[in-house]
Structure 1
Amino acid sequence: MRDTALPIDDRGFSYGDGLFETILVRDGSPLLWKYHMARLQSGIERLALPRLDLAAFDSLPAQCGPGLKVLKLIVTRGSGGRGYRPPELAEPRWRWTVSAFQPSAERWFGGVNVRCCELRLGLQPRLAGIKHLARLENVLARQEWGDDAIAEGLLLDSEGSLVEATAMNLVWRRQGRLETPLLDRCGVRGTLLSALDDTLALHWLRAGLEALLEADAVWLINSVQGVWPVRRLDDSAGNCLKQWSLEANDAFRQAAHRQLGYPLNFGD
């Protein structure tokens, strides 16, 4: 069902008891569809939602029309239950909406400034990796700055390990290796990150902020925006921690943009 009102007793509305996916669609064809459906299925299993036939969603991208669009799909447990206790026989509810999208080519090739957030992510392995609806930590982190010159904020967990940005995954290159944070205790495993893990030698590790200070290149990525090379990293007070020179022929960005059909080089 397309975007229509949810009843106030819907558990996704009341408790964040559900999941969502945001999918880039080009002329009716979805990008990274199998990865989105795999993450959605993983989320259904983690939240113990009733089994859904994901094939029911296969026709949605074609309904998005021409051009570049973002399809947002939301699945909730539905209504019912008493308080936090879910109903024994839940009837999942799903909605979808489509919006036009124009990515920022300036950020692809000119890079971005990012900051460290003060908020620390709590550890909850059962929810790690999936895209559940309860995203208050990300909302609070994004409230920390209003300067449009800052494109994103980096999040660490309660033990000081790097996790992600507020809406993007994090990859860096150190001593010739592509590294990315382990997402086994918190954070979202992005679909672009999963696709790149199948094609590149990504090293997943638990590391603190010092890993970025030792890196010679840093990128933020997601399946809608593509890749933003990081140009400057500030602490939460606005003090510069490190700056990076951008690479004209950025092999990592090119590999990611092939997955999304985005330009590989400036002027393409």
Structure 2
Amino acid sequence: MTGSGDTDATVALTDRGFAYGDGLFETVLVRDGVPLLWDEHCARLAQGAHRLGFEPPAKGWLDALPAKAPRGKCVLKIVLTRGSGGRGYRPPLPAEPRCYWQFTSFTPMPERWERGVSVRLCQLRLARQPALAGLKHLNRLENVLARQEWQDDAIAEGLLLNDRDQLVEATAMNLAWFDQGQWWTPELIECGVEGTLRRALIDQGHLSIARASDAPLSRFLNAPSTCLFNSVQGLWPIVRCLDAQHQHVHGQWPIDDSVRRLQGDAHALLGYPSNFPIF
């Protein structure tokens, strides 16, 4: 394993991560040198490397990275590639992975925690590829194209469906809806990124997984409350969903007790506040 970070992170043109998106990345919230959901991030990185067919960094090597962080809140971005070598798409055997990292200052958006956000439906449909489902791999062109669909800062996120019009995720966050007394989030066995906050909430029993066939857009839009979340931004209640042209409102939701309870569970894992009013 070779690695470089912050000031010396030069990427070779021959690096397969740069050339083909042949690699993975993690974005980790770090507070005063302490990484949040660190075990989940390391586990996802290791699982992704094994599924792509090369060795992940040693856990001890990764554990040394957060201690390099500046004081206060920041985001540690880790990029793991297969390295260089091979002929064309044929990967080298054995691979010599490279790991790059960088710290970026970060300020969350408490107004979105408190007042909720508006979202839109994206026109782009996610392709189904079970071999890559759940991984935070480097090829994120679908997300880039989806995010390119709008420039209105009043729209916080875009919702993504697959080619069967089943709900999957947002462009940079996971999502959930409240129904039949519990919170549901779509299964991610064909596409989508399994977020680390999503994994922690499932493991703690706060979220249930809905099969793709049970996650049509209509179920989400008809739910009494909905939300978005990830391991950096925390949980945003959704208050309105617009169509792709921002002309028709598909759904509106109050910020109720069920959202605030899930927000409290999520924010407890990230060290964020959760004592917001109910509108």
TM over 0.5, shorter chain: yes
Partner of 1:241: 250
Q: State whether structure 2 residue 250 is matched by structure 1 residue 250.
A: no
| 2:235 aligned counterpart, secondary structure | strand
TM-score, normalized by length of structure 1?
0.97
C-alpha separation between the residues in 1 aligned to 2:18 and 2:263?
Answer: 37
Deviates more, 1:42-51 or 1:199-208: 199-208
Structure 2: tracts of 5 or more residues without a match: none
Per-residue CA distance 1:65-106 (angstroms, 9 max, x = gap): 210010000100000111111112211011100011000000
Q: State whether structure 2 residue 197 is matched by structure 1 residue 192.
A: yes
Q: State whether structure 2 residue 270 is matched by structure 1 residue 265.
A: no
| 1:145 aligned counterpart, secondary structure | coil
Partner of 2:99: 94
- Partner letter of residue 250 of structure 2? L
Structure 1: tracts of 5 or more residues without a match: none
C-alpha separation between the residues in 1 aligned to 2:218 and 2:182?
Answer: 15
C-alpha separation between the residues in 1 aligned to 2:55 and 2:70?
Answer: 31
- Partner letter of residue 99 of structure 2? W
- Partner letter of residue 102 of structure 1? T
Q: Give the conservation status (yes or no) of the 8 Å contact 2:260–2:276.
A: no
Shift of 1:54: 2.6
- Partner letter of residue 83 of structure 1? G
Partner of 1:71: 76
Q: State whether structure 2 residue 237 is matched by structure 1 residue 229.
A: yes
C-alpha separation between the residues in 1 aligned to 2:15 and 2:53?
Answer: 16
Q: Give the conservation status (yes or no) of the 8 Å contact 1:23–1:30.
A: yes
C-alpha separation between the residues in 2 aligned to 1:213 and 1:65?
Answer: 42
Q: Residues 5-84 of structure 1: matches in 2 within 5 Å?
A: 5-84=10-89
Flag the 1:251–1:201 CA change in 2: closer, same or farther, 3 A.
closer
Runs of 4+ in 1 over 3 A off after TM superposition: none
Shift of 1:158: 1.2
Q: What percentage of aligned pairs have identical amino acids? A: 54
Partner of 2:222: 214
C-alpha separation between the residues in 1 aligned to 2:127 and 2:183?
Answer: 26
C-alpha separation between the residues in 2 aligned to 1:48 and 1:160?
Answer: 31
C-alpha separation between the residues in 1 aligned to 2:55 and 2:202?
Answer: 29
Give me the CA root mean square deviation.
1.2
| 2:264 aligned counterpart, secondary structure | helix
Shift of 1:201: 4.2
C-alpha separation between the residues in 2 aligned to 1:243 and 1:169?
Answer: 19
Flag the 1:100–1:51 CA change in 2: closer, same or farther, 3 A.
closer
